[in-house]
Amino acid sequence: MDLRTLRYFVAVADELHFGRAAARLHMTQPPLSRAIKQLETDLGAVLLNRSPTGVTLTPAGAALHDEARALLAQADQVRAKVTAATTLTIGTLADSVEQAGSRLVAVFRERHPGVHVRIRETDLADPTAGLRSGLADVVFTRTPFGDTGMTAHILRTDPVGVVLRADDPLAARAVLDPGELADRRWFRLPAGTDPVWCAYWAGPGREGPVVRTVHECMQAVLWNGTVGVAPLGHPLPDGLTAVPLRGKPPCHLVVAWQTSDPSPLVRSFADLVTSAPR
């Protein structure tokens, strides 16, 4: 009796129908029927009463159903713990993971040579880069965003400015006031995006196009003269320039993780980034 056979049995017991169970398991019915019959032979008990309209559980089958579901749930928990100990999913927003530098990668690989690292890139609609939804273990991203339940460690602080077309009348200015751009169209972020993030990055002017990626932001400025906000000092596409925005607080490049009950691998990663010099 193995876990695969128990999964077969639980599917039949849940559906009370071999055909539906086979469809749920993405297999054909004959091998499923043979597997259940072999399970009954191994246990020396009839588990299912079969009829043309479906199946019902015998008392032995009902007892096995409860035990099998508990055993499979425990097996899934063990598998998840093993995966968490050998796999780290790093969420990243735009170029944030590249901005963290290669030294962190080298030190982590030295400390955990057997760990498989998955990189998961998200768009601007998710400033937590999958951390809040549980799709990433640790993330590289930029502030500000709603960080309740998260720990964020600052890697670098960057001033921000407005991105304009190079031929814009304001492009040659040394600094701009927000009021000078109040009549401009600023890009917007998708509905439902973190309001703290939107308030900082979307801008105070007229509503412009909705964008999901940094590339879309840059192209909206280049093609349509839309105004965008970006960290200063990063390369921009030809035809664009960035001007500091007076009174705009800087943003932080951070690495973040869930505060409550992080896995040993996440704790190790957090220790690495918090102890390393910026």
> Using one digit for the tens of pLDDT, what is the confidence trace for 167-183?
999 999 999 998 898 88
- Asked whether this chain's domains 3-85 and 86-156+252-275 adopt the same fold, the reply is no
Give 104's pLDDT tier (boundaries 50, 70, 90): confident
Radius of gyration of the chain (CA): 27
State how far the Cα of 233 lies from the Cα of 195, in Å rounded to an integer: 26
Contact 171, 253 (CB under 8 A): no
pLDDT at 137 over 60: yes
Q: Give the predicted TM-score (pTM) of the model.
A: 0.68
Checking phi first, is residue 274 left (phi over 0); if not, alpha (psi -120 to 50) or beta?
A: alpha
State pLDDT tens for residues 240-268. 999 999 999 999 999 999 998 778 888 88
* pLDDT score for 101: 63
CATH architecture of 86-156+252-275: 3-Layer(aba) Sandwich (3.40)
Class of domain 3-85: mainly alpha
* pLDDT score for 278: 57
State pLDDT tens for residues 19-76. 999 999 999 999 999 999 999 999 999 999 988 878 999 999 999 999 999 888 888 7
Pick one of 3.40.190.10, 3.40.50.150, 1.10.1240.10, 1.10.1740.10 as the CATH number of 160-249. 3.40.190.10
State how far the Cα of 217 lies from the Cα of 219, in Å rounded to an integer: 5
